[in-house]
Structure 1
């Protein structure tokens, strides 16, 4: 899977989970459906949000995006549906073009510690997948321990 396809898939999934969360909130507050729909949709959205944020960071490093652009990519997930226009802009501007950087080039950005670590992990997809999954689980678990926004009902 290319960086472009990986990023675009998560950007789209993030927008879809916003829809699920909004529908769940309408059910809860508009139709007195209780908290279960929001709990389910919120958990799904949280999982995809974290996955999208990590994907934006991973693709940002691979594509040599400036830190500000990578931060902006992550921030778009906070605003409902903002990942879609951002994704389209990134795609049209060519910022998603190219393969995974498994080997170093003459570009000085390929010689940072983060780029070297990324290349090492890209050459070991099982390790990268495991680290990615572990990061999602640890972040999600930490957030579940902290509790939902607004506190527990």
Structure 2
């Protein structure tokens, strides 16, 4: 899976989960059924975290400027904004190419994160396992803290 395809899949998934959350909010407002917000919000929160992690991973691999990584992650805060951000990044060529698996002598690693991402990209099973554990740990911690805005 290329950086472009991975980013596109999670960008679209993040937008779809906004629909689930908004539908849950509408159901709660119109019928009083609060479980819709719990379900939609939980799914949306999990996919939001996955999108943020993928944006960081792709941004480091594609050597985006830090501001561009922040913009990509922040776009998930605005409903459906991840899709136009994905399209804009694609148009600008920011998602082009395969994963950087080997060091490029013409363009050495700029930060230790470059080497770390390359190491993980060469070991996709380890990357997926570590990503999943971190994602679940962050999600569980946030659930323990309670929903945004209090209970």
Relative to the length of structure 2, the TM-score reads 0.96
SS of aligned partner of 2:16:
helix
Relative to the length of structure 1, the TM-score reads 0.95
Deviations 1:64-111 (A, max 9, x none): 000010011000000001111111100111100010000011213x25
Residue matched to 2:21: 21
Paired residue total: 150
8 Å CA contact 1:90, 1:96 repeated in 2: yes
Residue matched to 1:54: 53
Runs of 4+ residues deviating >2 angstroms:
none
Calculate the aligned-residue CA RMSD, in Å. 0.9
Deviations 1:108-144 (A, max 9, x none): 3x25211111111111111101111011111101100
8 Å CA contact 1:50, 1:136 repeated in 2: yes
Structure 2 residues without counterparts, runs of 5 or longer: none
**Higher mean Cα deviation, 137-146 or 110-119?**
110-119
Q: Distance in 2 between matches of 1:111 and 1:103?
A: 14
Residue matched to 2:4: 4
Q: Distance in 1 between matches of 2:89 and 2:57?
A: 15
